[in-house]
Amino acid sequence: MGEIDGAFIQAIEHRPKPAIVEAEGIPLIDLSLLNTSDDPRVLAGLIAEIGDACKNWGFFQVINHGVPSGLLWGLLTAGKKFFDLPLQEKRKVRRDEDNPMGYFDTEHTKNVRDWKEVFYVMVDNGNVNSASHEPADQELHKLINQWPEYPPELREACEEYSRSVEKLSYKLLELISMSLGLPAKRFNGFFKEQTSFIKLNHYPPCPTPQLALGVGRHKDPGALTVLAQDDVGGLEVKRKANGEWISVKPIPDSYIINVGDIIKVWSNEKYESAEHRVVVNSEKERFSIPFFFNPSYYTVVKPIEELIDDKNPAKYTEYNWGMFLRTRMTSNFKKLEVENLQIHHFKIPQ
C-alpha cells in the first residue's frame, strides 16, 4: 500500500458506499481485495469499511488475512501441551513482579472472578538496551521471555506465529492510517523497536460460570490487538451505540481486531477503543491467543499533529509508552486495590 496521492483521494470521494457484513454485531471485513484488485475505488471501499468499524465499534473481524492457518494450529497445539503440564512444572517459568513474562494462574489473583491461566511472551526480547540511562529502558529491559523445557516446540511456534501476525498488523495499521486521511505508513515509524507481545490464554471449564469471568471488562492500552480464538467463543464487546454487550461468534480462520487506546489518542478520539470481556463456559475449555501490537518503548504518545487544529484541539497530553506499559504490567500482576493507569488520566479537560 503506497502513500495517498491526489488520484487516490479523488477515488475515496467517489467510492461506492461500503456494505459492512456484521457477524453477531461486529463488522466482518474481507482483506482479499488487497491482493486481488488494483482498482483504487475498491481499495477506497475497503479503507472506508475499516474506518467505519474503528469509529462505530472499535472492533471488527477479518478473513482472507494472509496468516497461514497451520501456524495458529501449531501454536494452539503446543500451548495445549504446556497447559496440560502439572502445575508445579508450569510454575517453573511463572511471571513475577520483576518480570511479567511467563506463566500466570488464577491462584496469584486471589479473585474468584478470574478463571484462566496464561503464558506471556514478548515478540522481541532484544528491543531494549539494558545499558541505557533512560528510566523506561531500565524498567523494560527486565521483560525477558521464559521458555519451559516442554514442549520444546513452543518457542519456535510462538516466534513463527508472531512474525506472520506482525505482517497482518502492519497491513491493518496502514489501512487505519489511510482511513484517517493520513499517508499509509504514517504510524510505522513508531514500531521500529516494538514492545509487542502475545498471550496464550487457557480457560478451563468453570463449575460456577455465573460467579466468574475469564477476563473482566476492560480496554486494551496498546495500538492494535489481533485475536485468534477457538470455536468455543466467549468474547463479548460493548456496543458503542447503546451500551449492550454483543457476543462475538467464532468464524473459522478469522481474526478479531480491536483498536487500542493508543490509536484512540493518535486519532484524537475519532476512533474508539471499546470495552470487552470474556465469559467462561461450564462444560468446555477454551483457548485464545491475542497478539498485542505495541509501539517502541520510547514512543511519546499524543494526538497526531495533522488531526488537530483550532476546531479540533488535542484531547490528551503526551505520555511515555514504555513507562505506561511497565506500570500497567506491574499493577496487573499485583492486583492493586487502586485504579490501574488509564489513558483518561491524560485527558485534557475540554
CB 229: neighbour CB atoms within 10 A? Answer: 21
Question: Any idea which residue has 490528551 for its cell?
Answer: 316
Q: What is the pLDDT of residue 242?
A: 86
C-beta of residue 269 within 8 angstroms of C-beta of residue 226: no
Question: What kind and span of H or E run contains 1?
Answer: none
Rounded to two decimals, what is the model's pTM?
A: 0.86
Is the predicted pLDDT of residue 7 greater than 80, yes or no?
no
Query: Which tens digit of pLDDT belongs to each residue from 339-348?
Result: 577 888 899 9
Q: Which domain holds residue 105?
A: 65-346
- Report if residue 302 sits inside a domain: yes
- Report if residue 30 sits inside a domain: no
**CA 270, CA 94: separation in Å to the nearest integer?**
39
CATH assignment at residue 293: 2.60.120.330
**CA 125, CA 173: separation in Å to the nearest integer?**
22
Q: What is the DSSP string of 15-29?
A: PPPP--EEETTEEEE
- Report if residue 217 sits inside a domain: yes
Q: What is the pLDDT of residue 124?
A: 80
The three cell numbers locating residue 22: 456484521
Query: Which tens digit of pLDDT belongs to each residue from 61-89?
Result: 999 999 999 999 999 999 999 999 999 99
Total domain count for the chain? 1
Question: Any idea which residue has 467505519 for its cell?
Answer: 52
- Report if residue 204 sits inside a domain: yes
CB 150: neighbour CB atoms within 10 A? Answer: 12
Strands 197-203 and 286-293, sheet pairing: antiparallel
Strands 59-63 and 26-30, sheet pairing: parallel
